[in-house]
């Protein structure tokens, strides 16, 4: 399975998948998509990358332990819910902010950050498992 | 006994909190202050003592101080404190002796690298104990009660490298926690019956609890708590084993304070629960048994600390007996005896610790003639022993007089009790003489270490409490008016007169009973060795002790839990899955069969020949194609010769399913299904190559048939359930609401996503936490497996690798 074609093409596929995963995640509020699916796509990309280039390369490219990304995701999701405390509203009340940038309006909201947290958790956890399973036995996790 | 400054009510909270703060800081303070830590930390209890003294004037005047703050307002639970004579006597004893013990500990553990931790535990214990005696709410009482158990556990097991210390700690924790659970049950029961958590309110309710049908149960709960904590026969055995703790712990927790918590509880609850026949007889019988048993136990021992531990059991029995009697005299005797006991027993323990510290042994048979080398220690021991014997001019004398005084009415029960008391007191007096005379007088016996006087910090405690016992003994007016009356009035709930006097009435029977006690005490002292031999012979003949029973119970419990774990947790993954899916099948079919959920499947009579009416759904050819693909995938799973191929075939089926979702208008679901399918195939494939189950492929036919049947049953069950649900009318109120509001209030067109991140965001937060937790568990499992593999490489793997 580790053919030259696969090894050559894999990084490109991975790059496209990662960008696509973020796109899917961000459009999720209005179109099919969302943090969960985005995270799954990104994790699949990491799986492919690991198969093609070896786990060590992927870990180096990621720089951060994938489990730490997952932890960060939970914290971010929780923190986005806590934001409502500042406007004296119950936990997880959503707050919306419309930023005017020239011609277009960019809506920012706490659910967006919540969804990014979900993305990080799914991505981090599944990548960690996939990488750990892919890695050779001699290599430490 | 007036305070240095007027005490404020809110300060009570600080009394309960300050020791805990000090406890947290203790290890850090130790790093800075080194060997002066003990001196510095002793200031905390000393300050608390002075602060509490500020309440004395009010309390002596017959007043009480109450203080309450919200704790759990939703359930109407308050953190309430209450000070009356009883709690103040206990609190002052705890903080006063606590200050001396902290000081003593500093010197006793000098040079120990965990001294900071030890002092921290001690202070935390003191905070818990102060909270316990000051608490008014039963729940606060329970909380502090359990905290004393936990800190006691930590202190007994302080020297955790020794097996005996660990065993003693666990035993104490188990026994006292059984009592703690009793207390909690009792507290809740009382609240349910009376409607109040506050003990001060309960005392105003008269016979409410005494007349209730559940009085017996309430009594059982509270007595269970008190008897375990205060080491009453037959639950006394944990206390001698608790002597594995460093000596300051034994002096503080297991004589003067913690074990008295049970006595305190009985005294506290006696206005509410006391006075009934059951109360009196249980307390008197068990108290009397404990007194005699403990006193005999003390005579059996040769180790100083063990002797003192056994006498503590005896004293606790005596106190329980006195509270059980419940007359004015016996309650007064209990109060005076509590104070006297705290003074002399803490003093004697500290003396025993000093002797052990300076000579290297605690065996009285290996000690003698120390008075010359350790004069101050000897004086402290002598003062404490005088009080323990109960000679005039000591506080112990008043305690003994009062207890005899209450039993002068001459009926049979009083006579039996007085005989028990005299026997117990005489044996305790004999033990006091043994402890004070054997190690110190006579010829000097060589000891492991050359004896010399203990340091100042270790002398301050025993000398001061010993002297206090004598000073209190010559001030009967002060003792009676300022200590006895407020505390006894609080227990009896009516004003009490003090009648303590120094005058000896030579013609009265009372004095001669005391003289008889002393004479018997001297006799016991002279015959100590003979008595010990006899008692030990009896023990050898008996063969078992409560300690053995406890061990047998614990061992049985461990074996039982081991058997249960092995039965449920056998490690055979396939059987786990069979169990899970079997449960699923039962859960699916059980309710459907029970409530006639399958009746709709029977064709109705007016349908006629229903097989003619069956029509295939009108589907596009490509839709048929997808369905054929799914079925092909399933068939491939069944036909697959190896597990790997089966997993890949499952992927085919899953992808077809995703396409069906897509074609029938659920793009979100299709998307997710596809990604889940891809990832699960990838991860399962990796897992399968790692597990290397190929040599077990193809699977035996029985397994195949078993799993196949289960799969079909579960599949049919889910299908039937879905059809059943779709047959009925769907309640669309929720989905209508979401459809209507997702854009206006949640600013999103994708309702699924809006539900996930906004409407049900809290659920999602929980779910992602679970996802992360599961991920960490999987990583831990993989890492463990890998560690095992690197430690001892299995030969089987080598050959496989070479083959691949």
Are B419 and B378 a contacting pair, CB within 8 Å?
no
Alpha-carbon separation of residue B663 from A93, B618, B631, B670 (angstroms): 35, 14, 17, 9
Chain A partners within 8 Å of B762 (Cβ): 81, 91-92
Are B62 and B88 a contacting pair, CB within 8 Å?
no
For residue B135, pLDDT over 80 is answered with yes
Domain boundaries, position B797: 760-804
Give pLDDT tens digits for B491-541.
888 888 877 777 777 777 888 888 888 889 888 888 888 888 888 888 888
pTM: 0.72
Domain-ending residue, one of B500, B526, B552: B526
Paired with B81 in beta bridges are B67, B135
Alpha-carbon separation of residue B414 from B280, B288, B304 (angstroms): 12, 12, 34
H helix or E strand, kind and range, residue B81: strand B77-83
Categorize the per-residue pLDDT at B727 as very low, low, confident or very high, splitting at 50, 70 and 90: confident
Query: Would the CB atoms of A122 and B768 count as touching at under 8 Å?
Result: yes
Question: Which structure tokens are listed for B530?
Answer: 């003979």
Three-state DSSP state, B78? strand
Instruction: Pick B764's closest partner by Cβ from A41, A67, A118.
Output: A118
User: Total structural domains in chain B?
Assistant: 2
Categorize the per-residue pLDDT at B57 as very low, low, confident or very high, splitting at 50, 70 and 90: confident
Give pLDDT tens digits for B107-120.
888 888 888 888 88
A116, part of any domain: yes
Q: How many residues does chain B have?
A: 804
The residue-averaged pLDDT of B442-470 equals 84
A90, part of any domain: yes
Contacts 24+ apart (CB under 8 A), B617-622: B622/B663
Instruction: Supply the pLDDT for residue B7.
Output: 52
Among A123-127, B75-79, B234-238, top mean pLDDT goes to A123-127
For residue B797, pLDDT over 60 is answered with no
Q: Per CB distance under 8 Å, which residues of B are interface residues toward A? A: 667-668, 671-672, 675-676, 678-679, 682-683, 686-687, 690, 746-750, 752-754, 756-758, 761-762, 764-765, 768-769, 771-772, 774-776, 778-779, 782-783, 786, 789-790, 797
Query: Would the CB atoms of A141 and B779 count as touching at under 8 Å?
Result: yes
Are B433 and B522 a contacting pair, CB within 8 Å?
yes
The residue-averaged pLDDT of B708-732 equals 87
Strands B77-83 and A104-109: unpaired
B412, part of any domain: yes
B132, part of any domain: no
A139, part of any domain: no
Query: Would the CB atoms of A29 and B753 count as touching at under 8 Å?
Result: yes
User: Total structural domains in chain A?
Assistant: 1
Instruction: Supply the pLDDT for residue A140.
Output: 47
Among the residue ranges B37-46, B190-199, B436-445, B784-793, the one predicted with the least confidence is: B784-793
The residue-averaged pLDDT of B225-250 equals 87
Among the residue ranges B42-56, B268-282, B604-618, B772-786, the one predicted with the least confidence is: B604-618
The percent of residues above 90 in pLDDT, for chain A, comes to 38
Categorize the per-residue pLDDT at B752 as very low, low, confident or very high, splitting at 50, 70 and 90: confident
Domain-ending residue, one of B493, B510, B526: B526
Instruction: Supply the pLDDT for residue B399.
Output: 86
Q: Average pLDDT of chain B?
A: 85
Instruction: Supply the pLDDT for residue B789.
Output: 63
Among A118-132, B294-308, B473-487, top mean pLDDT goes to A118-132
B111, part of any domain: no
Mind spelling out the 3-state secondary structure of B27-53?
Answer: HHHHHHHHHHHHHHHCHHHHHHHHHHH
B679, part of any domain: no
For the CA atoms of chain B, what is the radius of gyration?
37
For residue B706, pLDDT over 70 is answered with yes
Instruction: Supply the pLDDT for residue B788.
Output: 67
Paired with B137 in beta bridges are B198
Q: Average pLDDT of chain A?
A: 86
For residue A139, pLDDT over 70 is answered with no
Instruction: Supply the pLDDT for residue B483.
Output: 83
Domain boundaries, position A76: 4-134
A140, part of any domain: no
Instruction: Supply the pLDDT for residue B768.
Output: 93
Domain-ending residue, one of B476, B499, B526: B526
For residue B249, pLDDT over 70 is answered with yes
For residue B5, pLDDT over 70 is answered with no
For residue B803, pLDDT over 70 is answered with no
Contacts 24+ apart (CB under 8 A), B190-193: B190/B138, B190/B218, B190/B272, B191/B138, B193/B218
The residue-averaged pLDDT of B678-699 equals 79
Give pLDDT tens digits for B411-441.
888 888 888 988 999 999 999 988 888 888 8
For residue A22, pLDDT over 90 is answered with yes
For residue A69, pLDDT over 90 is answered with yes
Residues 60-119 of A with CB under 8 A from B: 67, 70-71, 73-74, 77-78, 81, 91-92, 94, 96, 107, 109, 111, 114-115, 117-118
The residue-averaged pLDDT of A43-47 equals 91
A23, part of any domain: yes
Nearest to B311 by CA among B325, B297, B300, B330: B297
The residue-averaged pLDDT of B295-319 equals 90
Angle at B488 between CA B381 and CA B479, to 5 degrees: 45
């Amino acid at each position: 399975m580790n053919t030259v074609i696969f090894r050559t093409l894999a990084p490109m596929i991975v790059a496209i998948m990662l960008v696509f995963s973020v796109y899917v995640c961000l459009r999720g509020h209005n179109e099919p998509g969302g943090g969960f699916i985005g995270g799954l796509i990104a994790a699949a990309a990491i799986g492919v990358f690991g198969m093609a280039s070896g786990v060590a390369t992927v870990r180096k490219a990621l720089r951060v332990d994938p489990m730490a990304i997952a932890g960060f995701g939970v914290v971010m999701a929780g923190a986005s819910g806590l934001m409502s405390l500042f406007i004296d509203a119950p936990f997880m009340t959503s707050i919306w902010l419309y930023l005017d940038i020239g011609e277009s309006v960019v809506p920012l909201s706490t659910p967006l950050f919540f969804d990014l947290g979900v993305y990080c958790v799914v991505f981090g956890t599944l990548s960690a498992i996939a990488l750990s399973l892919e890695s050779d036995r001699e290599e430490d996790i | 006994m007036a305070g240095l400054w007027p005490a404020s009510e809110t300060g009570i909270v600080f009394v309960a909190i300050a020791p805990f703060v000090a406890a947290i800081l203790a290890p850090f303070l130790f790093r800075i202050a080194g060997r002066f830590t003990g001196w510095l930390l002793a200031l905390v209890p000393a300050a608390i003592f002075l602060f509490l003294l500020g309440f004395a004037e009010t309390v002596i005047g017959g007043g009480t101080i109450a203080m309450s703050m919200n704790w759990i307002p939703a359930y109407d639970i308050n953190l309430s404190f209450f000070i009356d004579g009883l709690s103040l006597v206990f609190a002052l004893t705890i903080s006063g002796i606590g200050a001396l013990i902290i000081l003593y500990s500093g010197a006793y553990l000098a040079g120990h690298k965990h001294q900071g931790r030890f002092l921290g535990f001690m202070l935390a214990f003191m905070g818990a104990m102060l909270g316990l005696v000051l608490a008014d709410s039963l729940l606060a009482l329970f909380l502090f009660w359990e905290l004393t158990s936990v800190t006691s556990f930590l202190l007994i097991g302080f020297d955790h490298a020794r097996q005996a210390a660990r065993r003693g700690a666990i035993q104490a924790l188990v026994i006292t926690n059984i009592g703690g659970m009793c207390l909690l049950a009792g507290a809740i029961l009382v609240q349910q019956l009376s409607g109040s958590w506050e003990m001060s309110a309960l005392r105003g309710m008269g016979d409410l609890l005494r007349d209730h049908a559940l009085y017996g149960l309430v009594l059982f709960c509270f007595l269970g708590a008190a008897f375990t904590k205060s080491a009453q026969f037959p639950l006394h055995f944990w206390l001698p084993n608790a002597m594995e703790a460093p000596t300051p712990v034994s002096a503080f927790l297991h004589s003067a304070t913690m074990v008295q918590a049970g006595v305190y509880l009985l005294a506290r609850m006696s206005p509410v629960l006391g006075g009934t026949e059951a109360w009196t007889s249980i307390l008197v019988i068990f108290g009397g048994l404990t007194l005699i048993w403990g006193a005999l136990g003390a005579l059996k021992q040769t180790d100083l600390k063990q002797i003192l531990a056994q006498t503590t059991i005896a004293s606790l029995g005596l106190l329980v007996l006195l509270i059980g009697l419940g007359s004015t005299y016996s309650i007064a005797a209990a109060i005076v005896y509590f104070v006297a006991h705290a003074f002399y027993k803490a003093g004697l323990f500290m003396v025993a610790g000093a002797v052990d510290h300076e000579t290297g042994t605690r065996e009285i048979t290996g000690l003698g003639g120390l008075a010359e080398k350790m004069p101050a220690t000897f004086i402290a021991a002598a003062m404490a022993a005088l009080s323990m014997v109960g000679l005039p001019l000591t506080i112990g004398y008043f305690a003994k007089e009062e207890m005899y005084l209450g039993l002068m009415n001459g009926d049979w029960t009083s006579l039996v009790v007085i005989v028990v008391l005299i026997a117990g007191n005489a044996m305790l007096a004999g033990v006091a003489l043994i402890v004070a005379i054997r190690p110190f007088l006579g010829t000097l016996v060589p000891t492991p270490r050359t004896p010399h006087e203990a340091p100042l910090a270790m002398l301050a405690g025993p000398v001061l409490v010993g002297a206090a016992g004598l000073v209190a003994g010559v001030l009967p007016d002060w003792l009676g008016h300022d200590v006895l009356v407020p505390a006894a009035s609080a227990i009896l709930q009516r004003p009490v007169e003090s009648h303590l006097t120094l005058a000896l009435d030579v013609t009265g029977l009372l004095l001669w009973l005391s003289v008889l006690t002393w004479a018997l005490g001297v006799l016991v002292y002279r015959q100590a060795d003979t008595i010990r031999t006899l008692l030990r012979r009896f023990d050898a003949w008996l063969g078992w002790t409560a300690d053995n029973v406890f061990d047998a119970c614990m061992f049985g419990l461990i074996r039982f839990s081991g058997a249960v774990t092995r039965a449920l947790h056998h490690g055979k993954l396939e059987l786990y899955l069979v169990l899970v899916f079997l449960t699923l099948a039962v859960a699916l079919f059980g309710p459907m069969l029970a409530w006639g959920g399958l009746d709709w499947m029977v064709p109705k009579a007016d349908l006629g020949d229903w097989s003619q009416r069956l029509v295939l759904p009108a589907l596009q050819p490509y839709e048929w194609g997808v369905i054929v693909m799914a079925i092909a995938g399933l068939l491939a799973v069944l036909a697959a010769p190896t597990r790997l191929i089966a997993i890949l075939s499952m992927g085919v089926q899953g992808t077809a399913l995703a396409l069906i979702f897509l074609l029938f208008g659920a793009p979100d679901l299709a998307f997710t299904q596809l990604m889940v399918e891809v990832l699960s195939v990838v991860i399962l494939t990796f897992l399968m190559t790692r597990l290397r189950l190929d040599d077990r492929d193809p699977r035996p036919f029985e397994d195949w048939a078993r799993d196949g049947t289960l799969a079909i049953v579960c599949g049919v069950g889910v299908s039937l359930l879905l059809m059943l649900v779709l047959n009925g009318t769907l309640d669309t109120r929720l989905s209508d609401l979401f459809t209507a509001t997702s854009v206006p209030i949640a600013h999103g067109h994708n309702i699924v996503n809006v539900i996930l991140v906004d409407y049900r965001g809290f659920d999602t937060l929980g779910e992602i936490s679970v996802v992360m937790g599961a991920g960490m568990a999987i990583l831990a499992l993989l890492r463990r497996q890998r560690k095992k593999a690197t430690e001892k490489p299995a030969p089987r793997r080598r050959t496989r690798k070479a083959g691949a």
